[in-house]
Amino acid sequence: MKASDKRVYELHAELCKTLANPIRLEILSLLRDGKKSVGELASLAGIRQATLSQHLAVLRQRGVVSTNRGGANIYYEVANPKIIKACDIIREVLFEHINDMKSLGT
């Protein structure tokens, strides 16, 4: 295995760690239709702005979201739409698994 392959696996694991939080996944879902301010996100998610800001900082540091300033507000958006596609595929797999478990009676 090449060193570059190992580095990609490391980066992949870091991205998965970043996304391994239900609040962050909800934030990404809220951003799927376009940019939103911190206030909008806090209201939609039903969480305190301070908590939201901590999660947004992690997502921003990892390059998952980007920001734009609009007047007094900072707007967040998903940096690469493929992140949403990846999350959607994982959700589809989970729903299929849940349905399989129901049909097996477990």
CATH of 3-79 among 3.30.720.110, 3.40.470.10, 1.10.10.10, 3.10.180.10 = 1.10.10.10
Q: How confident is the model at residue 106 (pLDDT cuts 50, 70, 90)?
A: low
pLDDT digits (tens, 9 = 90+) for 63-93: 999 999 988 899 999 999 999 999 999 999 9
Q: What is the per-residue pLDDT for 4?
A: 85
Q: Tell me which residue of 16, 31, 23, 21 sits closest to 65, measured CA to CA.
A: 31
Q: Tell me which residue of 87, 73, 96 sits closest to 31, measured CA to CA.
A: 87
Bridge partners of 77? 66
Ordered DSSP codes for 4-29: HHHHHHHHHHHHHHHH-SHHHHHHHH
pLDDT digits (tens, 9 = 90+) for 37-58: 999 999 999 999 999 999 999 9
